[in-house]
Amino acid sequence: MGKISIGDIVGRKSYQMDIFFKVVDIVGEGPQARALLKGLDVRLCADAPLADLEPVPLERLRAFRQELVRRNQRCLGDVCSRRNKERAVLLKYRNDEGADEAPFFEIPGSVLHLDGDEEYLEICLNTYKQLDIKATGFCIAEEEIHLRVRELLEEHQPDILVLTGHDGLLKGKRDFQSLASYRNSSAFVKAVQTARQYEPDLDNLVIIAGACQSHYEALIAAGANFASSPQRVLIHCLDPVLLSERVAYTPINQTVIIADVLKSTITGVSGLGGIETRGKYRLGFPKSPY
């Protein structure tokens, strides 16, 4: 085994290299040295002895990144295809009401995204842009989000609030109902509660909260519309974006079809859940030529 350094892409031998991680720090020395790890495509932080780590071969890493790009492109392609079909149906309905084929304009919901991980946040912001969603993002440590969320809500007035970062069950903890068993679930719960003090109405402000293995029930009880993770599984870094897109582009007079929304995410119903929520998409008429 070669020397493991900060920035290396590695897998854990004890887990059959099932997840690829980036080494973000190394603590300790000698046989006691451990690496702090961050998942490349899942919102997971972990630590492991250096002896349990193995660098990912270049060819395998290249194949992983190529598949990641293909999967993301498929997801974005599916979104665009679905949206075009929905728009055609909606515009036909409006035009049948006597609009004389005059052009409409669209106002999808806007997003404020607070994330504990700067790299994941950048990926999400780029994806919002690709999906034509107005989004503002801030990187804030999970335990500090509740201290800043109200001021940012007041400043940006979003339709959708996304609260995410890193989470997970602590090593050796098996009490899934106790917040003390989770790395950051209590921090997300505090942030949701603070946001609901600002805006109690579940349709005026749609909240998507949580990360890998988060305490789903506690987040929903705190006031989140959608949360992770019902089965305490890992979620993909783009899952909150895909959820936001469905809310942002569901018409204001319709509720989001929960099962369809969750099936459109990368992780699916095992990693995400939610409650009936009204959409945020509005049509305007007519479109100005200027």
The b-or-e profile of 230-257 (16+ CB within 10 A means b, else e) is: bebebbbbbbbbbbbbbbbbbeeeeebe
pLDDT for the residue 257: 84
pLDDT for the residue 75: 78
Strand pairing partners for 26?
35
Domain map (residue ranges) of the chain: 9-56, 103-284
d(Cα 261, Cα 179) in Å, to the nearest integer? 27
Q: Which CATH superfamily is domain 103-284 in?
A: Response regulator (3.40.50.2300)
CA distances to 166, 184, 242 from 137, rounded to whole Å, are: 16, 19, 16
pLDDT per residue, tens digit, the chain (290 aa), is: 468 899 999 999 998 998 899 998 999 888 888 999 988 888 877 888 998 999 999 999 998 888 877 887 787 778 878 887 877 776 665 555 554 455 788 899 999 999 999 989 999 999 999 999 999 999 999 999 999 999 999 999 999 999 999 998 888 888 899 999 999 999 999 999 999 999 999 999 999 999 999 999 999 999 999 999 999 998 988 999 999 999 999 999 999 988 888 877 888 888 999 999 999 999 888 888 88
Side-chain-side CA neighbours of 228 within 13 Å: the count stands at: 36
Pairing of strands 111-115, 160-164: parallel
Q: Count the Cβ atoms, other than its own, within 10 Å of residue 274.
A: 23
Pseudo-torsion of CA 218, 186, 192, 233, nearest 10°? -60
d(Cα 35, Cα 213) in Å, to the nearest integer? 21
pLDDT for the residue 264: 77
pLDDT for the residue 30: 81
Strand pairing partners for 255?
278
d(Cα 41, Cα 18) in Å, to the nearest integer? 12
* Secondary structure of residue 280 in the 3-state scheme: coil
pLDDT for the residue 240: 92
Instruction: Give 4's contacts (C-beta < 8 A, 6+ positions apart).
Output: 10, 23, 26, 35, 50, 53, 55
pLDDT for the residue 55: 92
Q: Which of 60, 55, 57, 64 is nearest to 23 (CA)?
A: 55
Q: Which residue has the tokens 């897998």?
A: 11
